[in-house]
């Protein structure tokens, strides 16, 4: 009897040891797996699309004296004046969920709205006043439209926003906007969080290179250059 009891004890011990490394698994839901794979594929497609060069309009990025692809750009007003909603790659603990370019209902002026969790604020863009592309009676002149892009002029890792209103027969109007992330959510609606660093007029193109805005003039290689120095743009290619 003792041998039988001992054998049974050993068998129980071995059987128990066999269960130590065993993990119980719930049945696999193939539909859930397929849905997860589809969601992941959609994310990858979105990432790849956001990294692709976009169609050229007014803005060019120059690096090491060479033009490089512009990957963050949005166009409003070329085919429609319906509101355009987009999300630039701004950095900080508090950033707007989206930006909207639209035409003001009564005046027809170009407005850019930043939307946060609790606030919406109009950016200090000046794309309509004293612009060849704006008429007080009709609003944005036919043939003009807005291109928005981003470029880190001051090298702080948080890009500035560039808005260009222009048309082939009207020249271009360039605005550079700086975002200063607030310290708390309660301050996300402050106008002081946004600064118009500079407004420039050009003929047909604007080139963004390091900390400079370059506006080609004519076809002989001439240009105007404004460089960001201590938070202000100054002209750095003064000509006699």
Task: Report which secondary-structure segment, H or E, holds 217.
Answer: strand 212-217
Looking from the CA of 207 toward its CB, the CA atoms found within 13 Å total: 17
Residues contacting 133, CB < 8 A, separation 6+: 127, 140, 141, 144, 165, 166, 167, 170, 173
DSSP class of 89: -
Residues contacting 102, CB < 8 A, separation 6+: 83, 84, 110, 111, 113
Residues contacting 46, CB < 8 A, separation 6+: none
163-211: per-residue pLDDT in tens? 999 998 899 999 999 999 999 999 999 999 999 999 999 999 999 999 9
Specify the pLDDT at position 171. 93
Q: Do 144 and 167 form a contact (C-beta atoms < 8 A)?
A: yes
CB atoms near residue 150 (< 10 Å): 20
Side-by-side strand order, sheet with 98-103 = 84-86, 98-103, 110-115, 120-122
Q: How far apart are CA 115 and CA 93, in angstroms?
A: 15
Task: Report which secondary-structure segment, H or E, holds 110.
Answer: strand 110-115
pTM, two decimal places: 0.76
Specify the pLDDT at position 30. 46
Specify the pLDDT at position 1. 43
Looking at the DSSP bridge assignments, the partners of residue 62 are: 67
Residues of the chain with pLDDT under 50: 1-39, 41-52
Q: Which two tokens stand for residue 99?
A: 């930006």
Specify the pLDDT at position 107. 86
Specify the pLDDT at position 32. 40
Q: How far apart are CA 59 and CA 162, in angstroms?
A: 9
Specify the pLDDT at position 3. 41
Long-range contacts of 221-225 (CB under 8 A, 24+ apart): 224/200
Specify the pLDDT at position 130. 80
Specify the pLDDT at position 195. 97
Q: How far apart are CA 198 and CA 232, in angstroms?
A: 7
Looking from the CA of 236 toward its CB, the CA atoms found within 13 Å total: 12
Q: Do 232 and 83 form a contact (C-beta atoms < 8 A)?
A: no
Specify the pLDDT at position 221. 81
């Amino acid at each position: 009897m003792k041998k039988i009891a001992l054998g049974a004890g050993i068998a129980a011990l071995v059987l128990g040891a066999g269960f130590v490394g065993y993990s119980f698994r719930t049945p696999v839901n193939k539909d859930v797996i397929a849905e997860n794979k589809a969601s992941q594929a959609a994310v990858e497609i979105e990432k790849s699309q956001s990294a692709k060069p976009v169609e050229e309009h007014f803005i060019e990025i120059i690096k090491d004296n060479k033009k490089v692809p512009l990957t963050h750009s949005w166009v409003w007003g070329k085919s429609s004046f319906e509101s355009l909603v987009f999300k630039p790659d701004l950095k900080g603990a508090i950033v707007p969920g989206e930006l909207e370019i639209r035409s003001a209902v009564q005046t027809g002026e170009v407005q850019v709205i930043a939307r946060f969790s609790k606030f919406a604020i109009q950016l200090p863009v000046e794309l309509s006043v004293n612009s060849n592309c704006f008429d007080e009676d009709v609003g944005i002149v036919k043939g003009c439209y807005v291109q928005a892009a981003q470029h880190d002029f001051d090298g702080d890792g948080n890009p500035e926003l560039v808005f260009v209103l222009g048309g082939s027969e009207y020249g271009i109007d360039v605005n550079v906007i700086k975002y200063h992330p607030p310290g708390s959510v309660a301050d996300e609606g402050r106008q002081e969080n946004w600064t118009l660093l500079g407004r420039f007029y050009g003929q047909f193109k604007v080139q963004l290179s390091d900390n400079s805005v370059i506006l080609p003039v004519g076809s002989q290689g001439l240009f105007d250059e404004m460089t960001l120095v201590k938070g202000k743009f100054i002209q750095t290619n003064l000509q006699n």
